[in-house]
C-alpha cells in the first residue's frame, strides 16, 4: 500500500488525483474547499472526478457541482448515512447523485468504504435524501430520550425500557447502542450533537422551500439548540437528553 501523501492545498490534491473525495463538516466548509482560493476546482480538468461526501443542503451541492463541471471534470455528491464506527468498519451507506458515469467509475471505491450505495439521479437528490434520513434520526432520538426520562420518573428501570424496545417492532440499532450509555449520562461522540442540529436546520429549510410542515422535527431542533447552549455541541447527539433534564429542572423551580 502506498504511503499517504499530503499536499499544500485542495487544488494541489485535485491536480494530483484522478478522483478527489471531499468530506467536510458543513456547507460553508464544503464550498470553500471546492470553490474557494486554491480550492479543488482549480486543480480539476476534463477526465477528473470530484466526489463530495459532505452533508450539505441541495443548493450548496448544486453550486459546487456547477463549479466543478465548468472545468470539464465530473461531479458526484455522495453524502453518507453512518457515523464513526460504520466508517471505521467500512459499513457506510452512500447516497449519491450527479454524473452516472462517475458513479460507476467510483463504485468499487465506495464498496470499500460502505455496505451499500444508492444512485438517486440529479445533483441535490443525495443531499435531500441525507437530510430526510437525519431529520428522522434526530426526532427519534428526542422521543427515545423522553421515554427514558419518563420511565425513570414513574419508577421504571430505563435499562429495562431499552430491552423491551429492542424486542419489539420499533427496535432500531440506535436505541440498543445509545440507550445504556444515556442511562449513565455518558455520551461518547460518534455523531456530534452540533452536526445533528445543523442537519435539522437544513432539513427545516428544505421543508420550508416546498411548504411541507415538519412540526416534530422543528420541536426536536429546539431541544438540540438548548443542548448546544448547555455546552454539549461536541458530545454525541444522544446528549440531547440533557436538554430535557434541564427543561424538567427549570419547570420545577
What's the pLDDT at 252?
74
Question: Phi-psi region for residue 98, left (φ > 0), alpha (ψ -120 to 50) or beta?
Answer: left
Catalytic residue (one of 130, 178, 194, 228): 130
**Does the annotation mark 245 as catalytic?**
no
Same topology for domains 10-121 and 128-245, yes or no?
Answer: no
What's the pLDDT at 2?
62
The alpha carbon dihedral of 27, 227, 206, 52 has a sign of positive
Cα dihedral value 84, 222, 184, 162, nearest 10: -80
Grid look-up 412540526 returns 215
What's the pLDDT at 84?
87
What's the pLDDT at 83?
86
128-245 architecture in CATH? Orthogonal Bundle (1.10)
Counting Cβ atoms within 10 Å, is residue 203 exposed (0-12), middle (13-18) or buried (19+)?
buried
| Range 35-41, long-range pairs (CB < 8 A, 24+ positions) | 35/63, 35/64, 35/67, 38/9, 38/10, 38/11, 38/12, 39/9, 39/10, 39/11, 40/10, 40/11, 40/13, 40/14, 40/68, 41/11, 41/14, 41/67, 41/68, 41/70, 41/71
Q: Give, as one character, the DSSP assignment of residue 98.
A: E
What's the pLDDT at 22?
97
Consecutive sets of 10 residues in the chain, 253 residues long: mean pLDDT of each? Answer: 84 97 95 98 98 95 98 98 92 98 98 97 96 98 98 98 96 96 97 97 97 98 98 98 92 71
| CATH homologous superfamily for the domain 10-121 | NAD(P)-binding Rossmann-like Domain (3.40.50.720)
Domains in the chain: boundaries: 10-121, 128-245
Amino acid at each position: 500500500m502506498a504511503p499517504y501523501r499530503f499536499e499544500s492545498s485542495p487544488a494541489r490534491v485535485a491536480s494530483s488525483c484522478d478522483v478527489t473525495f471531499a468530506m467536510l463538516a458543513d456547507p460553508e466548509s464544503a464550498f470553500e474547499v471546492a470553490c474557494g482560493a486554491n480550492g479543488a476546482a482549480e486543480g480539476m480538468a476534463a477526465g477528473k472526478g470530484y466526489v463530495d461526501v459532505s452533508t450539505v443542503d441541495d443548493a450548496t451541492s448544486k453550486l459546487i457541482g456547477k463549479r466543478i463541471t465548468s472545468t470539464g471534470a465530473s461531479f458526484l455528491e455522495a453524502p453518507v448515512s453512518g457515523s464513526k464506527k460504520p466508517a471505521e468498519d467500512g459499513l457506510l451507506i452512500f447516497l449519491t447523485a450527479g454524473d452516472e458515469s462517475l458513479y460507476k467509475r467510483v463504485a468499487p471505491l465506495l464498496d470499500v468504504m460502505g455496505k451499500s450505495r444508492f444512485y438517486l439521479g440529479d445533483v441535490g437528490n443525495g443531499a435531500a435524501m441525507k437530510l430526510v434520513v437525519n431529520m428522522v434520526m434526530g426526532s427519534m432520538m428526542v422521543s427515545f430520550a423522553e421515554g427514558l426520562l419518563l420511565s425513570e420518573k414513574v419508577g421504571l428501570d430505563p435499562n429495562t425500557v431499552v430491552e423491551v424496545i429492542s424486542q419489539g417492532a420499533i427496535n432500531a440499532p440506535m436505541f440498543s447502542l445509545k440507550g445504556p450509555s444515556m442511562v449513565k449520562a455518558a455520551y461518547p461522540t460518534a455523531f456530534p450533537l452540533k452536526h445533528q442540529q445543523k442537519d435539522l436546520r437544513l432539513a427545516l429549510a428544505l421543508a420550508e422551500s416546498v411548504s411541507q410542515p415538519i412540526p416534530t422535527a422543528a420541536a426536536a431542533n429546539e431541544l438540540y439548540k438548548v443542548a448546544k447552549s448547555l455546552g454539549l455541541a461536541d458530545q454525541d447527539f444522544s446528549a440531547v437528553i440533557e436538554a430535557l433534564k434541564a427543561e424538567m429542572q427549570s419547570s420545577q423551580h
